[in-house]
Structure 1
Amino acid sequence: MNKMPDYDIPSVRLTSGLYALTKLACAGLTYVLISLLMLGFPQHNGVPEGWPLSIPYAIYAYGLPAALVADVLLRLLRSTSHIVSLVVYVAAGFGAGLWLAAEQGAELLLWGLAGILGLLLLRITQLGVERSPLLLPVFALFLPLLCLLLL
């Protein structure tokens, strides 16, 4: 039996754990950015006026699953094209916005477009946090918790 050296096989747990931490970090950074943008707008019990739900709920319950679906679709398509990636993320974002609007009783087109913007922001933050893997725990846990405590 041929034995393969251990250093040639990447750990599945390490790879999937790093992927999950990256997704949580990009969701956390997106939450902080949107919270900072919405800081000047009136809010009632943590929900900005005109929004059907709170910012963290929108990101973690609707945006993050849509980003995971988009990543699965990109993995299945095996495409490295940025155009295909953009199209898949736009479609998944529109789907997330429609899902949010259907469940929360909001306007479909408006929240479909908001879902596109939210998922594109998730993708941009993912590209940003992948460049600094040492900051992943900060963006995934500490910064969103600090933002929740302060806001």
Structure 2
Amino acid sequence: MIEKRKFLLFIFIFLLLVGVYAHFSEKKTAQNPPASHSIVFHAEELCSKYFPNETYPDKMNEIAGICPKYKNNHTAVVFCWIGCKLVKSGINAYECRGGKIYKLVVDTRNWTLISLTPSNWSEVIEVVYAECPKYIEGISENSQEESK
């Protein structure tokens, strides 16, 4: 009987230790900080820096588009969508509507603002979906040619 109690106590302590170990090892892997130097992080920081008072209870600020390499390797374009209203567009889907769009051209070496101008959806589509991919593809083609 004493042997059975010792065995059950051993099993209980073993399971307790395994549970505690799993709990602490899980927390260590889950606490990886977000990449603070990503283009999205800087885009959000820039939009909140230059448009800090544009958030109201029923309105919000969003990123309308990002071009990480615009014109050269040291400039990026961030389109800030300021004061848009979140509306329901499906069962569990929402989207922003209204508001204003601004184009911020920034120097990515030190994340300083080069220019800030009013913009529109036509320019967002033109830059992000037309100009930016061509330029990024051109950079990768040039770098491949240089490596040969």
Q: Taking structure 1 as the reference length, what is the TM-score of the superposition?
A: 0.28
**Quick one: higher RCO (CA 8 Å, sep 6+), 1 or 2?**
1
Higher strand share: 2
Q: Taking structure 2 as the reference length, what is the TM-score of the superposition?
A: 0.28
Larger radius of gyration: 2
